[in-house]
Structure 1
Amino acid sequence: MLVHKLEISKPLWQQLIRDLARTGMGVKESGAFLLGNMEPSRVVTEYLLYSDIAPDSQHVNYVLLRGRHMAKVWDICELRKLRVVADIHTHPGVPIQSPSDRDNPIVSIAGHVALIVPNFAKGLVVPSSLGFHEFQGQGEWRSWFRGEAAALLNITG
């Protein structure tokens, strides 16, 4: 059973949430790749908005990323010597995975973390309001909510 915690600075977290709310405009899903280092722990140092990688990716009930978009992400990671440590995207309501989320992980490697932000990131977003979902491999996921989700996301400073 895998459990990978994430760490992100408070200013970066606040900017990320503002950007997710702005790009989704309160009416459509938005998201980002969380980039950083994996060792000794997963520390997010920057992010790439889906809308910057794939301007036509955002829709009301889903985000669509194609192979060519992922190639851009890997190129940026290689250039900056970073890794995709997690992804994050918004949902219109609660932070549970949709069937599409479960069937199509952004990174289909066991241990990949996918965060879901409720209410299109409108209003106050704190770790306990998120869904924290970790891909276990072979189509399986583990999910944490409320206090358990908050314990897995460390916002520093």
Structure 2
Amino acid sequence: MNGPFALQMSRSQFAALTAELARRGDGRRESGAFLLSSTNVERPPGHKRTVVGFAFYDDLDPASLTGGITFGAIGYSALSAVCRAQDLCVVADIHTHPGSWVQQSAIDARHPMSAIPGHIAIIAPNYSQGSIRLRDLGLHVFHGDKTWESRYRNEVKEVLHLTGSYPFLRMAISALRSAFRAVHRSIKERGTLDVNARS
């Protein structure tokens, strides 16, 4: 893989992705999605592929969430149509596991969602319920011929890079700014009332 990171997405994208996986899995079944990138971007050596969108398994194949994942030909046909229409390509997939186990199952390893060398398969724990961090994931890079390279914990960020600030931090900063503006307005209004009272 070229460069220190193979993929990048914003922290808000990552938060939205893991929350949507949790919603679709409902704490009782696996869910998943393809991560999509633009096909018409020049990529010099070391360039990070930027994730620009997601295609959720059950949007492509409504019968795919069976407890595990059963993704059929209808889903791949729909995925191909989406990619062609929007000039996108699949750079990774993500699916959830119950519990904290994020290694690949034998089925995962034998049947990559994309059999192109360099494809990245990500596994999120606990059906993606709760707060999911990069270090909670298992990240598995397909090298072809049934060969995978796996990354866990702090190694995940060597391949998947999150950009921007955390959504909750942005919200907290926005709330603080609103509070400061409200206090400032209140002080100004009080000052105006005091001046009027004295006059």
Shorter-chain TM-score tier: over 0.9
RMSD: 1.3
Q: Supply the distance in 2 between the matched residues of 1:33 and 1:5 (Cα, whole angstroms).
A: 16
Quote the residue 2:92 is aligned against. Answer: 86
- State the 4+ residue runs in structure 1 displaced beyond 6 angstroms: none
Quote the residue 2:26 is aligned against. Answer: 25
Q: 1:41 to 1:150 in 2, by over 3 A?
A: closer
Q: Supply the distance in 2 between the matched residues of 1:89 and 1:12 (Cα, whole angstroms).
A: 16
Q: Specify the SS of the correspondent of 2:91.
A: strand
Structure 1 residues 33-86: Cα deviation after superposition (integer angstroms, max 9, x where no partner): 1011363421101101111111111122x2011122101101100110011010
Quote the residue 1:71 is aligned against. Answer: 77
Q: Which has the larger radius of gyration?
A: 2
| Count of residues in correspondence between the two structures | 155
Q: Specify the SS of the correspondent of 2:77.
A: helix
CA contact (8 A) 2:135 2:156 kept: yes
CA displacement at 1:121 relative to structure 2: 0.3
Select the structure with the greater relative contact order (CA < 8 A; seq sep ≥ 6): 1
CA displacement at 1:142 relative to structure 2: 0.6
Q: Does 1:53 align with 2:54?
A: no
Unaligned runs of 5+ in 2: 165-199
CA contact (8 A) 1:43 1:85 kept: no
Q: Supply the distance in 2 between the matched residues of 1:151 and 1:123 (Cα, whole angstroms).
A: 23
Quote the residue 2:106 is aligned against. Answer: 99
CA contact (8 A) 1:37 1:85 kept: no
Q: Specify the SS of the correspondent of 1:52.
A: helix
Unaligned runs of 5+ in 1: none
Quote the residue 1:154 is aligned against. Answer: 161
Which structure is higher in strand share?
1
Relative to the length of structure 1, the TM-score reads 0.94
CA contact (8 A) 1:33 1:50 kept: yes
Which structure is higher in helix share?
2
User: Percentage identity across aligned positions?
Assistant: 37
